[in-house]
Structure 1
Amino acid sequence: MKKLRVGITGIAIESSTFSPHRSTVDDFRVLRGNDLLARYDFLDADWAAEVEWVPLVDARSLPGGAVTEEAYAELSGEILDRLRSAGELDGLFFDIHGAMSVVGRSDVEASLAQEIRSIVGPDVLVSASMDLHGHVSRELVTALDLITCYRMAPHEDAWETRERAARNLVSRLRSGGRPKKAWVQVPVLLPGEKTSTRLEPAKSIYAAVESVEALDGVLDAAIWVGYAWADEPRCQAAVVVMGDDVPLLTKEAERLAQSYWDARHDFAFVAPTGTLPECLAQAVASDARPFFISDSGDNPTAGGAGDTSWSLDVLLNTPAIVDSSLTTLYAAIVDPESVATAVAAGVGGTISVELGGKVDSGPHGPVALTAQVAAVDADDPVAGTAVVLAVGGLRVIVTARRKPYHLESDFHALGLRPREADVVIVKIGYLEPELYDMAADWLLALTPGGVDQDLLRLGHSGIVRPMFPFDADMAAPSLTPEIF
Structure 2
Amino acid sequence: MSKRVALAGFLHETNTFAPTKARMEDFVQGGGYMPLVRGAAVLERGRDINLGIGGAVRFGESAGWEMVPILWAGAIPSAHVSRDAYESITADIISGIAAAGPLDGVLIDLHGAMVAEHEDDGEGALLRRVRETVGPDVPIAASLDLHGNITEAMGEAADVLVGFRTYPHVDMADTGYRAATQLDALMARGAPFAKAFRRLPFLVPIAWQSTRAEPAKGIYDLVAGLEGGGVASTSFFFGFPAADFPGCGPTVVCYADGPTRAEAAADRIEQAVLDAEPALAGETFEPEAGVIEAMRIARTATKPVVIADTQDNPGAGGDSNTTGMLRALVAQNAQRAALGNMVDPRAAAAAHAAGQGAEITLALGGFSGIAGDAPFEGSFTVETLSDGKLVANGPFYGGAPLDMGPSACLRIGDVRVVVTTHKAQMADREMYRFVGIEPEAQAILVNKSSVHFRADFDGIAETILTCTAPGPMPVSPASLPFTNLAPGMRLEPLGPVFDPKTAA
| Short-chain TM bin | over 0.9
Equivalent position of 1:143 in the other structure: 157
Would you say the 8 A contact 1:189–1:236 is kept in 2? yes
- Give the letter aligned to residue 34 of structure 1: A
- Give the letter aligned to residue 262 of structure 2: L
TM-score of the superposition, structure 2-length normalised? Answer: 0.89
Identical residues among aligned pairs (%): 30
Cα deviation, residue 371, structure 1: 0.8
Cα deviation, residue 104, structure 1: 3.5
Match of 2:278 among 265, 269, 284: 265
- Give the letter aligned to residue 386 of structure 1: S
Instruction: Establish whether residue 459 from structure 1 lines up as the match of residue 473 from structure 2.
Output: no
- Secondary structure of the residue aligned to 2:347 is helix
Q: 2:369 and 2:169 mapped to 1: Cα distance? A: 27
Equivalent position of 1:437 in the other structure: 459
Cα deviation, residue 47, structure 1: 7.4
Would you say the 8 A contact 1:222–1:239 is kept in 2? yes
Matches within 5 A, 1:17-416: 17-28=16-27, 29-38=35-44, 39-41=46-48, 42=55, 43-45=57-59, 48-214=62-228, 216-269=229-282, 272-286=283-297, 287-288=300-301, 289-316=303-330, 318-321=331-334, 326-380=335-389, 381-416=402-437
Would you say the 8 A contact 1:298–1:450 is kept in 2? yes
TM-score of the superposition, structure 1-length normalised? Answer: 0.92
Would you say the 8 A contact 1:284–1:320 is kept in 2? no
- Give the letter aligned to residue 488 of structure 2: P
- Give the letter aligned to residue 292 of structure 1: V
Cα deviation, residue 186, structure 1: 0.9
Cα deviation, residue 471, structure 1: 8.4
Q: 2:414 and 2:148 mapped to 1: Cα distance? A: 40
Between stretches 195-204 and 84-93, larger displacement belongs to: 195-204
- Give the letter aligned to residue 244 of structure 1: D
Equivalent position of 2:30 in the other structure: none
Q: 1:169 and 1:420 mapped to 2: Cα distance? A: 47
- Secondary structure of the residue aligned to 1:64 is coil
Q: 2:443 and 2:107 mapped to 1: Cα distance? A: 46
- Give the letter aligned to residue 234 of structure 1: G
Q: 1:284 and 1:473 mapped to 2: Cα distance? A: 33
Would you say the 8 A contact 1:153–1:192 is kept in 2? no
Q: 2:202 and 2:66 mapped to 1: Cα distance? A: 41
> Structure 1 residue runs of 4+, over 6 Å off?
none
Q: 1:391 and 1:150 mapped to 2: Cα distance? A: 40
Would you say the 8 A contact 1:188–1:261 is kept in 2? no
* Cα deviations by residue, 1:233-266 (Å, 9 ceiling, x for unpaired): 1001111110112112112212211221222112
Q: Which consecutive unaligned segments of at least 5 residues does structure 1 have?
A: 476-484
* Cα deviations by residue, 1:26-46 (Å, 9 ceiling, x for unpaired): 111211122211313553558
- Give the letter aligned to residue 459 of structure 1: P
Q: 1:313 and 1:16 mapped to 2: Cα distance? A: 26
- Secondary structure of the residue aligned to 2:148 is coil
Would you say the 8 A contact 1:231–1:460 is kept in 2? yes
Would you say the 8 A contact 2:60–2:180 is kept in 1? no
- Secondary structure of the residue aligned to 2:103 is coil
- Secondary structure of the residue aligned to 2:403 is coil
* Cα deviations by residue, 1:201-223 (Å, 9 ceiling, x for unpaired): 21111111122112x22111010
Q: 2:417 and 2:403 mapped to 1: Cα distance? A: 17
Would you say the 8 A contact 1:47–1:167 is kept in 2? no
Would you say the 8 A contact 1:382–1:402 is kept in 2? no
- Secondary structure of the residue aligned to 1:368 is strand
- Secondary structure of the residue aligned to 2:226 is helix
Structure 2 vs 1, CA of residues 73 and 351 (structure 1 numbering), >3 Å: closer, same or farther? same
- Give the letter aligned to residue 349 of structure 1: A
Q: 2:456 and 2:445 mapped to 1: Cα distance? A: 13
Between stretches 170-179 and 232-241, larger displacement belongs to: 170-179
Cα deviation, residue 405, structure 1: 2.3
Equivalent position of 2:392 in the other structure: none
* Cα deviations by residue, 1:354-410 (Å, 9 ceiling, x for unpaired): 211222443312221211111110142421111111111011111111122222222
Structure 2 vs 1, CA of residues 375 and 473 (structure 1 numbering), >3 Å: closer, same or farther? closer
Q: Which consecutive unaligned segments of at least 5 residues does structure 2 have?
A: 28-34, 49-54, 390-401, 498-504
Q: 2:141 and 2:156 mapped to 1: Cα distance? A: 12
Equivalent position of 2:4 in the other structure: 5
